[in-house]
Amino acid sequence: MVCDDGCVHPPRDLDELMSRARALEGVALSELMDVSGLAVRTKGKAGEAMERALGATGVGASLDFPELGVELKTIPVEPDLKPRESTFVCAVALAHADREEWDDSWVKRKLSRVLWMPIVHEAALRRVGRAVLWAPTEEQTCILQADFEEILGAIAIGGIEGVTAHMGRWLQLRPKAADSHARALALGPDDALIETVPRGFYLRSRFTGAILRDPSATP
Amino acid sequence: MVCDDGCVHPPRDLDELMSRARALEGVALSELMDVSGLAVRTKGKAGEAMERALGATGVGASLDFPELGVELKTIPVEPDLKPRESTFVCAVALAHADREEWDDSWVKRKLSRVLWMPIVHEAALRRVGRAVLWAPTEEQTCILQADFEEILGAIAIGGIEGVTAHMGRWLQLRPKAADSHARALALGPDDALIETVPRGFYLRSRFTGAILRDPSATP
DNA sequence: TAGGATCCAGCTTTGGATCCTT
DNA sequence: AAGGATCCAAAGCTGGATCCTA
């Protein structure tokens, strides 16, 4: 499972992926990565450590395991599995939000099958929790699609500034200020193009928390 | 309009009621009641002062102006009309929530016509704001009814403990802990009767704030 | 610049607790 | 006990700000 240079080979199938994921349960994060620099210095690193540990192959704007159709999401949780944050899904194409369709959206593709790897935060210690492989049920897909369409519809009607993070039952749109000085072109009122902060789709923690407990839940 | 003992006679019709209500605009609360005892000692008193000032006649479980079909609600707001609190409507009959019907509910009756008297809080001063006479539009009634039925349905299915204040777009159910030690009998899971804190229906401030600005709004 | 994931100040909401009058 | 309304600590949510790697 490990080649000469310390890399993990890609999993051949879902079973192998899940065996690896389950084998990581209980492992301290410090065993998978360098956690020196303490606390503040781990943004995004846990996700990358998990990708390496599981043998993810995806690059750029693709899934983490393209052959298996699986997206990997590392999610920080409390000991009771309550997520500490909402989960980023993907950026939104602000400039032509009016022609987006659910069926060929990145949101739908990314969420069609997700391997959730909880990282349990307990005081200073962080451990891998129980992995969950999830594909949305039909009912869940309907609600996600409705959220998606509500948000894009609102952009089309009132422009991006009329959209708030209150919209959407499970999916919401929020600033994705990777570079807080960045500006993107977006649809404003009256079809004008305006500059605004880049935004992304996020899953509310009420929903991701429910998935971790029961993958077919509808909170 | 004032009889010998300082009482205000009841208004004969809606016009008279509204004239009085509008005449109170800008009046400091200290002119209508004793505000000594400062701040903490005014719970419910502003509402009673307003009843007296307008000549309300209702007693017990009835409307404030039974002949006019009007319920009076005194509501604390910020200078920009944003309500400081949700608004209590009435208690819920916890013991037989399963047989309640919207059409003969107290919620519907109390909300069929409301005279809103905002009390504008600005620093230490409190003044009467602009009165609003409101009756729900057909659309608003539909949403209120849907909220009511969602909440009562949830009680019927999962018992009172399964109902949270998150339910309902405009109407919500919350503890009505007038006496925090009080307990009421309510439907629990499996149709058992359990003891619980008394609860009441409240209107969210998102909704009451919208009514004050535009009585036909659907926030 | 894109992907991946936290961090956090400040505001809002929940779930009661309190207070007064009839 | 019911009607009327306010107070508040703690939890949750919004709207960004930050940080790292490729």
- Positions 144-173 of B with beta carbon below 7 A from strand C are 164-166, 172
pLDDT of A4: 47
Express each pLDDT in A64-92 by its tens digit.
999 999 999 999 999 999 999 999 999 98
Distance CA B18, CA B12 (A): 11
Asked if the Cβ of residue A37 lies within 7 A of any atom of strand C, the reply is no
Express each pLDDT in B13-48 by its tens digit.
999 999 999 999 999 998 998 776 555 567 788 999
Q: In Å, what is the separation between the CA of B137 and the C1' of D11? A: 35
Alpha helices, DSSP H only, in chain B? 14-23, 45-54, 106-111, 138-158, 205-213
pLDDT of A6: 55
pLDDT of B204: 96
Which residues does A112 contact at the CB level (< 8 Å), separation at least 6? A69, A71, A135, A136
Q: Closest nt to B88 (CA→C1')?
A: D5
- Mean pLDDT computed over A174-201: 84
Express each pLDDT in B148-161 by its tens digit.
999 999 998 888 88
Contact, A187 vs A160, CB < 8 A?
A: yes
Asked if the Cβ of residue A178 lies within 7 A of any atom of strand D, the reply is yes
Asked if the Cβ of residue B38 lies within 7 A of any atom of strand D, the reply is no
pLDDT of A191: 82
Averaged pLDDT score across all residues of chain B: 89
- Mean pLDDT computed over A177-206: 85
Asked if the Cβ of residue A47 lies within 7 A of any atom of strand C, the reply is yes
Report the Cα B117 to chain-centroid distance in Å.
Answer: 11
- Positions 145-164 of A with beta carbon below 7 A from strand D are 164
Asked if the Cβ of residue A44 lies within 7 A of any atom of strand D, the reply is yes
pTM of the entire structure?
0.89
pLDDT of B109: 95
Distance CA A64, CA A66 (A): 6
Express each pLDDT in B92-131 by its tens digit.
887 777 888 999 999 999 999 999 999 999 888 899 999 9
The residue with greater pLDDT, A35 or B22, is B22
Q: In Å, what is the separation between the CA of A84 and the C1' of D21? A: 23
Whether the per-residue pLDDT at A41 is higher than 70: the answer is no
- Mean pLDDT computed over A150-176: 92
